[in-house]
Structure 1
Amino acid sequence: MATPTLEKSGKAPEPEAGFADSPYITATFRIRRFNPEVSEEAQWQDFQISIDPKERVLDALHKIKWELDGTLTFRRSCAHGICGSDAMRINGKNRLACKTLIKDLSPEKPITVEAIKGLTVLKDLVVDMDPFFQAYRDVMPFLITKGNEPTRERLQSSEDRERFDDTTKCILCAACTSSCPVFWNDGQYFGPAAIVNAHRFIFDSRDEGGEQRLEILNDRDGVWRCRTTFNCTDACPRGIEVTKAIQEVKRALITRRF
């Protein structure tokens, strides 16, 4: 894709009298626009809006879409940091738009918003998530057991649960995977999110499919591609120690202890 150019700005209406006494500020959002039906080139477009700095980037995107440009395209659902659908690059960092407050972004300067990297951009801030979810499916992210169906609950101690508790927090937002330089350069790499979700079951004491998952991740596109840059850990909006989980999977492959 060619280097983006700067498009003519969209600007909100002038504020009403008394605005100076309100908590609102005028913020500029510089959004990387891409519409394959119009042009093969991406463009940066500026939008000026009046908004409370305590609101979120997602609120700003809604305001732009509803009041200035209805063609702006992005994903969102729950708006509370649980669904993970509104992951995007904000001021050069992967974040959830619904968890990022405008006041934390130095709003006196233009706030840049663009699609996450490493996945094909379909339109504006929307990327093709199919490769990401295929890697997730490939690691078999479900409980595998043998024998007959149990007649009672599978019990687990709090200590056993603690072993994999951190990786149960993943919301599949792709912020970690799309922050990984290896994934940017080679989309065949499983990526941090898939490995995190494999970790969640490999270290589950009730699961019996750990060996299968380890063999899958022992592939040339598995855990050995990780270069331990910690980008994934920094990008995770749920605070998961992603790099630590990847290292634990590597260790399990070497020792066969998990």
Structure 2
Amino acid sequence: MATPTLEKQPAADTGHLVTVTFRIRRFDPERSADAYWQDFELRIDPKERVLDGLHQIKWENDGSLTFRRSCAHGICGSDAMRINGKNRLACKVLIKDIADVKDGVGTKPVVIEAMKGMTVLKDLIVDMDPFFQAYRDMMPFLITSGNEPTRERRQSPRDRERFDDTTKCILCAACTSSCPVFWNDGQYFGPAAIVNAHRFIFDSRDEGGEQRLEILNDRDGVWRCRTIFNCTDACPRGIQVTKAIQEVKQALITRRF
């Protein structure tokens, strides 16, 4: 019996690849107390996302590079990081949009670092516990009184529209970690927590609005906002974060919501 032979596969076409530098702020507390910058030169399709570049580095260059990611489709919010000076989701940013590619070379490095205002645990991973504690403090669940209903709580499209925007939050922390007030005082609840409070305060089915407003009337609450709009600019879901914060302030003053 003749020995089967494998057909030689044609070489992959790499003509569309470009050379791009990824400049990453590294930190490993087990090695040093100081952070440092490290450059990686990649050959990559410019239509790929920054997350793809990070994967290439981790799988082919340096397996110690550490970052969070999950769905890779802008839904889970895991891969929020600071990219070229702005908080973004690495899975939504195309390399060609930030590397300024000319003649097959990225003329600008892709600069990546952990989000500001949070304790860096390693490389691009920050401690999210305080962020999620602020979220839990807002009681992000429906609060009602009386007996358990025997059918769904109905709501008109108009009532649902009142808080539709703030239901889009994916808890990526991009807004909170872009806030200068939060940078200076980590005790501030932050935009994301207030957005999630808004989602229930203005829900016609909920009865816990007064409780949440009292929590946000604290010194570390909604009045710390300086209306800088960084949070709105940083939100990868396009939520009008600053508008939501102002509506919560107005509800505190008028007690109408």
Matched, 1:52 2:45: yes
Q: Which has more radius of gyration?
A: 2
Superposed displacement of residue 108, structure 1: 2.0
* Partner residue in 1 for 2:57: 64
> Which residue type is aligned with residue 203 of structure 2?
D
Out of 38, 50, 54, the position equivalent to 2:31 is 38
> Which residue type is aligned with residue 256 of structure 1?
R
* Partner residue in 2 for 1:154: 153
> Which residue type is aligned with residue 34 of structure 1?
F
Matched, 1:95 2:88: yes
Unaligned stretches of 5+ residues in structure 1: 1-15
Superposed displacement of residue 23, structure 1: 1.2
Structure 1 residue runs of 4+, over 6 Å off? Answer: none
| Structure 2 Cα separation of the partners of residues 60 and 257 of structure 1 | 49
* Partner residue in 1 for 2:201: 202
Aligned pairs for 1:112-151 (under 5 A) are 112-151=111-150
Aligned pairs for 1:15-34 (under 5 A) are 19=14, 22-34=15-27
| Structure 2 Cα separation of the partners of residues 24 and 247 of structure 1 | 46
Q: TM-score, with normalisation over the residues of structure 1? A: 0.92
* Partner residue in 2 for 1:215: 214
Question: Please, what is the CA RMSD of the aligned residues?
Answer: 1.1
* Partner residue in 1 for 2:5: none
Task: Give the secondary structure class of the aligned counterpart of 1:98.
Answer: coil
Percent identical among aligned pairs is 84
Matched, 1:185 2:178: no
| Structure 1 Cα separation of the partners of residues 150 and 108 of structure 2 | 61
| Structure 1 Cα separation of the partners of residues 44 and 12 of structure 2 | 15
Task: Give the secondary structure class of the aligned counterpart of 1:205.
Answer: coil
Relative to structure 1, the CA distance from residue 18 to residue 147 in structure 2 (aligned partners, 3 Å threshold; closer, same or farther) is closer
Matched, 1:229 2:219: no
* Partner residue in 2 for 1:170: 169
Q: How many residues align?
A: 241
Q: TM-score, with normalisation over the residues of structure 2? A: 0.92
Out of 62, 68, 76, the position equivalent to 1:75 is 68
| Structure 2 Cα separation of the partners of residues 18 and 118 of structure 1 | 43
